[in-house]
C-alpha cells in the first residue's frame, strides 16, 4: 500500500485509467456505428421521409362553370355564375395596435361579437402564430366591404379574402332546373379519391347534379415547403386569385414555392335553351297554384320554359344563413323538390284525344268525313252501364274536327273501339307517352299508358288462377280513349304531342342543353291528317259568335293562329262530385286537374305549350287564360326592344326630314 495517501500511484493504477479510456472509446464506436447505419446504410429511406415531410401541396380552388340561358332574343344570359364572396380576415402580425382596439373598431363597423374575436386573437397569440388568418366575418356584404376599405388606415391587419361562391342570378326562377348544391359528405369524400375536399360543394339536383363533372373545374396546385406546425396562409386579389409572393405560414415562416404553379382550371360552361324571361313569366302565372307549364320550340324540341310550382331558390343552399329555409324546402309540403313538368304524372284527360285522333287518322280507322252521332252516352254490347259524354245532351253528329273542338267523348269512345288498345298503345309510345320522352334531365318519369301486356304483367303474378283479374276488358279501352282510367302523363309529354301537331307531325325530342340538339326526323302524321287535327284545335280556341265558342276560347288572341285543347284530369271518382250541388262547393283537393295544351302556328318560332293546374277543375277556365298570357309575353319579348326601335326611327327622322 502506498504510504502517502495523496499519491495517486498504486499497483495497477495506469491500467485502470486505460480501462476507463477503452470504455469511452467503445462508447464512441457505438455512436459511430449507429451514425453509419443511419446516414450511410439507411440514407435513402430517411431522405425520402425528409422530402415527404417538408413538401406540401397547396390547393388552389377552381371556380365552377357557368350556366347560360336565353332571354327573348338575347342569348348567353347568365343564369348561374360565381360571385366573389368576401371574408373579412385579421392577421395579428400586421397589426400595430392593441387587439382590443381593433376588435372594438370592427365591432362598431361591421357588428361582430367583440369578445369572441378577441378570444380567437388571444389564442393565436398564445400559440405563437401571429400570422394565422382569423376569420372576422364570413361573406360580408359589398357595402360593408366598402366601409372596411374606407377605414383601412384605422384597421391595420384587417383584409378581405375573396372566394368564389355560386350565385343564381335569377333567384328562384328556374331554380329547380338549375338545382342546388351542398357540402360533400364523408362517404363521398372517401370515394372521390381526393377529387373533393372537406367543405366542397357538390351538385345535388337539376343541372348542377347532372353536369357536376363538366361544371366542376380542375383545382390548381402548388408545391410549397412546409414548416412542421404552421399552416400556409394564402391571400387573394379582388378576383379571388391567390397571391403567391410572400407566402407565409401561420407562424410567419416564409414558404418557398417549389415548382411552377399549376393554376386552377375553371369548370366548363353549359348553355341551355331555357328562356329565362319566359320561365319567369310562366312561374309567375302559376303563383299560388301547384302546377306545371312546358313551353317547347315546336320545330326543334328546344325547351323554352319548364315551370313548376312551387319551386325554390337554390341560392338558399349556398348562403351562409338560411338553415330553416333549407329545411323547409327539403321537407315542406307541397313538395318543392320535384319538377312537376317531367317528374310528376297526371291523368291526361281530354288532351289524349289529340293522340287518339292522330292514331285513328294514320291507321285509317277514320277520315275527314267519318262521323259518329253523340247522344250523350255510349254503350258497349253486354255492358249495362253506359259511358257518358261530358255533355249529357250530346253533340249530335260530329266529325273528327268537331270532336276535337268540342271534346266529344262519344266520338273517341267509338274511335277507341275500332283502334283497339294495342294500336292505341303503339301510337302512344311513338309520341313518347307511357315512355320517357328523353329530356336531358335526371329523373324523368314515363307516365303510364295501359296495355294488355302491362295488365298481365302487373296482375297475373298476384292472381295467377283468376284470368278475370288480369284480362283486358273492352270497357278499359273506352276509358283509355278519353285519357281516363289508369293512363297518366307528364305535362312534358303533352307538349311533345302538341309540338308534333304544330310542326307537321314530327316527334320532337325535348332538350335543355344546347349541346344535345337533335333535328326531329321521325314523321308520325301526314300533312293531310295534321291539318285536320289543327283545324279541330283551332276551332277549340275560337270565340263566337259568329263561330261556336270552343272550350279553349279563353286562349284566343285576335290575329294569332292559336291551337288549343282543354282537358280535365279526373282526380277522384265522379261519385265524390255528385254529393255537391254546384261545382264551387267541391273542395279544392277533390277538384279535377285542369289541362290546356296549346300552340302557335303563324309566328316564329312556333311554340307548343302544355299547362297543368292541379285541382284547377276545368282546363277552359283555369288553364287556357294562362296560355294566352304566355303567347302574348313570348312574342312580345322577341320583338326588338322598344328603345331600340325608337332610336332607329328617330335617326331616320333627323336624317331625312322633309318639309
Partner 1 sequence: MSMASNDLMSAHIRVFNAGNLRRLDIWLSAIVLVLAAIGVMVLYSTTRSTSSETPFYFRQMMFIPVGCILALTIMCIDYRFLVSMAPFFYVALIGALVAVLLVGVEAKGATRWLQLGPIRIQPSEQSKLALIFMLAWYLSSIGRRVERIHYFVLTFVIAAVPAVLIFQQPNLGTAATLGPVVFAMLYAAGCKRSHLVGIVVLGLIAAPVGWTQLKDYQKTRVMTILNPAADELGSGYHTTQSMITVGSGGPFGKGYMQGTQTYLSYLPEHHTDFIFSLLAEEWGFVGGLVVLGLFSLLFMRSLYIARKSPEMSGTLLAVGIVTLLAFHVFVNIAITLGIAPVTGIPLPFLSYGRSFYLTTMMCVGVLLSVNTRKGLFI
How many angstroms separate the CA atoms of 585 and 188, rounded? 52
Q: Which is nearer to partner 1, 7 or 462 (CB)?
A: 7
- Find the DSSP H helices in 439-503: 452-459, 467-470, 474-481, 491-503
Number of residues this chain uses to bind partner 1 (CB under 8 A): 45
Cell of 116: 369572441
- Subset of residues 41 to 60 that bind partner 1, contact rule: CB under 8 A: 42-43, 45-47, 49-50, 53-54
| Alpha carbons within 13 A on the beta-carbon side of 364 | 0
Cell of 435: 315512355
How many angstroms separate the CA atoms of 40 and 47, rounded? 11
Stretch that binds partner 1, among 219-227, 403-411, 420-428, 447-455 (CB under 8 A): 219-227
Q: Which is nearer to partner 1, 226 or 628 (CB)?
A: 226
Stretch that binds partner 1, among 10-18, 60-68, 194-202, 543-551 (CB under 8 A): 10-18
Do 130 and 91 form a contact (C-beta atoms < 8 A)? yes
Stretch that binds partner 1, among 20-28, 105-113, 197-205, 419-427 (CB under 8 A): 20-28
Q: Which is nearer to partner 1, 16 or 457 (CB)?
A: 16
Task: State the SS3 of 520-572.
Answer: CCCECCCHHHHHHHHHHHHHHCCCCCCCCCCCCHHHCCCCCCEEEEEEEECCC
Is position 94 an interface residue for partner 1 (rule: CB under 8 A)?
A: no
Cβ 328 to partner 1 shortest distance, Å: 44
Q: Which is nearer to partner 1, 42 or 653 (CB)?
A: 42
Cβ 95 to partner 1 shortest distance, Å: 17
Cβ 61 to partner 1 shortest distance, Å: 25
Stretch that binds partner 1, among 36-44, 98-106, 108-116, 191-199 (CB under 8 A): 36-44
Cβ 20 to partner 1 shortest distance, Å: 6
DSSP assignment string, 143-208? HHHHHHHHTGGG-TTEEEEEEEEEEETTTTTTHHHH--EEE--HHHHHHTTTSS-TT-EEE-SHHH
Q: Which is nearer to partner 1, 53 or 522 (CB)?
A: 53
Is position 16 an interface residue for partner 1 (rule: CB under 8 A)?
A: yes
Q: Which of 65, 84, 227, 486 binds partner 1 (CB under 8 A)?
A: 227
Is position 231 an interface residue for partner 1 (rule: CB under 8 A)?
A: no
Do 135 and 128 form a contact (C-beta atoms < 8 A)? no
Question: What x-and-dash track marks residues 609-628 binding partner 1 by CB under 8 A?
Answer: --------------------
Q: Which of 98, 116, 228, 393 binds partner 1 (CB under 8 A)?
A: 228
Among candidates 102, 139, 125, which has minimal Cα distance to 321?
A: 139
Cell of 111: 357588428
Cell of 585: 262547393
Stretch that binds partner 1, among 38-46, 397-405, 530-538, 547-555 (CB under 8 A): 38-46
Cβ 40 to partner 1 shortest distance, Å: 5
How many angstroms separate the CA atoms of 418 and 412, rounded? 10
Length of the chain: 659
Q: Which is nearer to partner 1, 33 or 636 (CB)?
A: 33
Do 232 and 239 form a contact (C-beta atoms < 8 A)? no
Q: Which is nearer to partner 1, 5 or 656 (CB)?
A: 5
Cβ 46 to partner 1 shortest distance, Å: 3
Is position 229 an interface residue for partner 1 (rule: CB under 8 A)?
A: yes
How many angstroms separate the CA atoms of 118 and 116, rounded? 5
Question: What x-and-dash track marks residues 239-278 binding partner 1 by CB under 8 A?
Answer: -------------xx-------------------------
Q: Which of 159, 225, 393, 604 binds partner 1 (CB under 8 A)?
A: 225
Q: What is the dihedral of CA 523, 526, 527, 528, to 10 degrees?
A: -170
How many angstroms separate the CA atoms of 382 and 110, rounded? 82
Stretch that binds partner 1, among 40-48, 172-180, 279-287, 618-626 (CB under 8 A): 40-48
Cβ 100 to partner 1 shortest distance, Å: 25
Task: Using alpha carbons, list the distances in angstroms from residue 369 to 112, 353, 376, 529.
Answer: 80, 17, 21, 12
CA-CA-CA-CA torsion sign (178, 179, 182, 184): negative
How many angstroms separate the CA atoms of 597 and 413, rounded? 21
How many angstroms separate the CA atoms of 295 and 302, rounded? 9
Q: Which is nearer to partner 1, 18 or 243 (CB)?
A: 18
Residue 392: how many other CB atoms lie within 10 Å = 9
Q: Which is nearer to partner 1, 41 or 116 (CB)?
A: 41
Is position 324 an interface residue for partner 1 (rule: CB under 8 A)?
A: no
Stretch that binds partner 1, among 9-17, 316-324, 385-393, 476-484 (CB under 8 A): 9-17
Is position 73 an interface residue for partner 1 (rule: CB under 8 A)?
A: no
Cβ 257 to partner 1 shortest distance, Å: 15
Residue 347: how many other CB atoms lie within 10 Å = 25
Cβ 19 to partner 1 shortest distance, Å: 8
How many angstroms separate the CA atoms of 547 and 489, rounded? 32
- Find the DSSP H helices in 236-382: 276-285, 323-331, 352-363
Q: Which is nearer to partner 1, 1 or 393 (CB)?
A: 1
Is position 126 an interface residue for partner 1 (rule: CB under 8 A)?
A: no
Task: Using alpha carbons, list the distances in angstroms from residue 618 to 247, 395, 554, 626, 629.
Answer: 68, 19, 12, 13, 17
Do 516 and 440 form a contact (C-beta atoms < 8 A)? yes
Stretch that binds partner 1, among 34-42, 76-84, 107-115, 493-501 (CB under 8 A): 34-42
Is position 152 an interface residue for partner 1 (rule: CB under 8 A)?
A: no
Cβ 24 to partner 1 shortest distance, Å: 5
Cβ 167 to partner 1 shortest distance, Å: 40
Q: Which is nearer to partner 1, 85 or 92 (CB)?
A: 92
How many angstroms separate the CA atoms of 100 and 538, rounded? 77
Stretch that binds partner 1, among 13-21, 160-168, 348-356, 434-442 (CB under 8 A): 13-21
Cβ 60 to partner 1 shortest distance, Å: 22
Is position 98 an interface residue for partner 1 (rule: CB under 8 A)?
A: no
Which residues contribute to the site for partner 1 (CB under 8 A)? Answer: 1-2, 5-8, 10, 12-14, 16-21, 24-25, 27-28, 30-32, 34-36, 38-40, 42-43, 45-47, 49-50, 53-54, 225-229, 252-253
Amino acid at each position: 500500500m502506498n504510504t502517502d495517501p495523496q499519491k495517486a500511484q498504486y499497483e495497477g493504477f495506469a491500467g485502470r485509467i486505460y480501462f476507463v479510456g477503452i470504455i469511452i472509446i467503445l462508447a464512441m464506436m457505438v455512436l459511430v456505428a449507429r451514425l453509419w447505419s443511419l446516414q450511410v446504410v439507411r440514407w435513402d429511406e430517411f431522405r425520402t421521409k425528409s422530402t415527404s415531410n417538408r413538401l406540401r401541396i397547396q390547393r388552389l380552388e377552381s371556380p365552377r362553370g357557368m350556366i347560360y340561358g336565353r332571354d327573348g332574343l338575347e342569348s348567353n344570359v347568365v343564369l348561374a355564375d360565381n360571385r366573389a364572396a368576401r371574408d373579412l380576415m385579421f392577421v395579428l402580425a400586421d397589426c400595430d395596435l392593441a387587439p382590443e382596439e381593433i376588435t372594438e373598431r370592427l365591432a362598431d363597423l361591421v357588428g361582430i361579437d367583440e369578445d369572441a374575436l378577441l378570444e380567437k386573437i388571444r389564442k393565436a397569440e398564445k400559440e405563437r402564430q401571429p400570422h394565422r388568418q382569423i376569420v372576422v366575418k364570413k361573406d360580408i356584404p359589398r357595402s360593408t366591404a366598402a366601409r372596411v376599405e374606407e377605414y383601412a388606415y384605422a384597421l391595420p391587419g384587417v383584409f378581405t379574402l375573396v372566394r368564389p361562391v355560386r350565385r343564381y342570378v335569377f333567384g328562384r326562377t328556374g331554380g329547380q332546373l338549375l338545382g342546388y348544391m351542398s357540402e360533400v359528405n364523408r362517404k363521398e369524400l372517401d370515394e372521390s379519391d381526393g377529387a373533393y375536399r372537406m367543405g366542397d360543394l357538390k351538385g345535388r339536383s337539376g343541372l348542377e347534379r347532372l353536369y357536376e363533372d363538366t361544371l366542376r373545374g380542375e383545382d390548381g396546385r402548388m408545391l410549397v415547403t412546409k414548416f412542421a406546425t404552421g399552416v400556409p396562409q394564402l391571400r387573394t386579389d379582388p378576383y379571388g386569385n391567390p397571391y403567391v409572393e410572400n407566402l407565409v405560414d401561420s407562424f410567419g415562416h416564409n414558404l418557398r414555392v417549389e415548382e411552377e404553379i399549376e393554376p386552377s382550371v375553371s369548370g366548363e360552361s353549359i348553355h341551355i335553351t331555357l328562356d329565362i324571361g319566359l320561365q319567369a313569366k310562366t312561374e309567375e302565372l302559376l303563383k299560388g297554384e301547384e302546377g306545371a307549364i312546358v313551353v317547347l320550340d315546336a320545330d326543334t324540341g328546344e325547351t323554352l320554359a319548364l315551370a313548376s310550382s312551387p319551386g325554390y331558390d337554390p341560392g338558399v343552399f349556398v348562403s351562409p344563413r338560411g338553415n330553416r329555409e333549407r329545411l323547409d324546402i327539403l321537407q315542406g309540403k307541397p313538395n318543392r323538390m320535384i319538377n312537376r313538368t317531367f317528374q310528376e304524372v297526371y291523368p291526361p284527360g281530354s288532351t289524349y284525344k289529340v293522340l287518339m285522333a292522330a292514331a285513328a287518322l294514320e291507321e285509317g280507322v277514320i277520315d275527314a268525313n267519318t262521323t259518329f252521332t253523340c247522344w250523350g252516352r255510349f254503350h258497349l254490347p253486354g255492358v249495362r252501364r253506359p259511358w257518358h259524354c261530358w255533355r249529357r245532351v250530346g253533340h249530335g253528329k260530329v266529325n273528327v274536327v268537331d270532336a276535337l273542338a268540342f271534346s266529344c267523348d262519344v266520338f273517341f269512345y267509338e274511335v277507341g273501339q275500332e283502334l283497339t288498345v294495342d294500336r292505341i298503345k303503339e301510337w302512344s309510345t311513338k309520341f313518347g307517352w307511357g315512355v320517357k320522352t328523353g329530356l336531358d334531365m335526371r329523373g324523368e318519369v314515363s307516365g303510364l299508358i295501359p296495355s294488355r301486356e302491362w295488365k298481365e304483367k302487373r296482375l297475373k303474378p298476384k292472381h295467377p288462377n283468376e284470368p278475370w283479374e288480369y284480362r283486358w276488358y273492352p270497357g278499359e279501352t273506352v276509358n283509355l280513349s278519353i285519357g281516363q282510367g289508369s293512363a297518366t302523363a307528364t305535362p312534358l309529354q303533352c307538349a311533345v304531342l302538341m309540338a308534333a301537331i304544330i310542326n307537321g307531325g314530327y316527334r320532337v325530342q325535348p332538350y335543355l342543353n344546347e349541346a344535345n340538339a337533335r333535328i326531329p326526323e321521325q314523321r308520325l302524321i301526314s300533312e293531310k291528317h295534321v291539318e285536320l287535327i289543327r283545324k279541330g284545335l283551332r276551332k277549340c280556341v275560337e270565340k263566337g259568335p259568329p263561330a261556336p265558342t270552343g272550350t279553349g276560347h279563353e286562349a284566343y288572341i285576335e290575329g294569332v293562329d292559336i291551337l288549343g285543347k282543354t282537358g280535365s284530369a279526373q282526380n277522384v271518382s265522379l261519385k265524390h262530385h255528385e254529393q255537391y250541388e254546384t261545382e264551387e262547393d267541391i273542395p279544392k283537393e277533390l277538384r279535377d286537374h285542369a289541362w290546356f295544351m296549346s300552340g302557335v302556328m303563324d309566328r316564329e318560332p312556333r311554340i307548343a305549350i302544355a299547362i297543368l293546374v292541379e285541382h284547377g277543375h276545368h282546363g277552359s277556365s283555369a288553364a287556357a287564360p294562362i296560355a294566352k298570357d304566355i303567347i302574348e309575353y313570348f312574342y312580345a319579348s322577341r320583338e326588338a326592344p322598344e328603345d331600340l326601335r325608337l332610336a332607329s326611327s328617330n335617326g331616320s327622322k333627323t336624317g331625312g326630314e322633309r318639309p
